[in-house]
Amino acid sequence: MRADPDTILADPVLSQTALRAGRHIFLARCASCHGTEGKSNPARAIPDLTDTSFLYGDGRVSDIERIVLHGIRAGDTKGWNLASMPAYGRLIPYDREPLPSLNPGEIAALVAWLRSANGHSADPAQVQRGRKLFSGNAACWDCHEEDATGDSAIGAPNLIDGEWLNGTGKVAEITDIIEHGRAGVSPAYARVLTPFEARAVAAYTASLHPSSAQAVSR
């Protein structure tokens, strides 16, 4: 516990202790959502913990430890609570700041642009309109950045990398997300796990990423 959490996986002795305890905790506390191997579940918007695409932070042990302890939208003021996906099909899409509702045609244009940006064919006029909405009135850029590559500081996913947190990129799936919004939750375990257990499971989860796995193997 006195070590810098981000150095644990590079230390053979510390990593052995952390990974042994961390996997046990992961299976008991995390596997019900993330599965026993930490793979994605697009049907439930469960992210893949074994790739190098990080929704929150950079995949470091310290980033994951914060999520373990304080959660995401879990009611803990120290957790990640800054942003949620607005529901643009509602009269009031977002309760934290004023955003305009979008009509079905505007939502369809955004869907066309997003699918086009991910390599799917779409009507050029719709694509152009959707791009303007993304950068204009819909204010999608405010979270997802002007280039739509996302912002891991607030949990806004990359929208143009061909990977889908929720669904598989079908028209109906993207339409549903834009219309109804999303606000996934990860529990806060600060009152449930000991500091050692939280750090151990964070180290184990970080080890599932390819780059961290290489560090452990050296």
Beta carbons of 159 and 146 less than 8 angstroms apart: no
- Residue 156 sits in a domain whose CATH number is 1.10.760.10
The mean pLDDT of 79-107, rounded to a whole number, is 95
- Evaluate if residue 211 carries a pLDDT over 90: no
For residue 147, being part of any structural domain is answered with yes
The mean pLDDT of 137-149, rounded to a whole number, is 94
pLDDT band of 188, cuts 50, 70, 90: very high
Report CA-CA distances (Å) from 161 to 4, 118, 132, 157, 174. Answer: 32, 7, 20, 9, 15
Question: How many domains, in total, are found in the chain?
Answer: 2
Range of the domain at 41: 5-81+185-217
CA distance 84 to 184: 8
Report CA-CA distances (Å) from 167 to 42, 111, 172. Answer: 5, 14, 9
Beta carbons of 111 and 174 less than 8 angstroms apart: yes
pLDDT band of 117, cuts 50, 70, 90: very high
Q: How many CA atoms lie within 13 A of 170 on its CB side?
A: 7
pTM above 0.85, yes or no: yes
131 and 176 inside one domain:
yes
Q: What is the pLDDT of residue 83?
A: 87
Question: Which amino acid type is present at position 109?
Answer: A
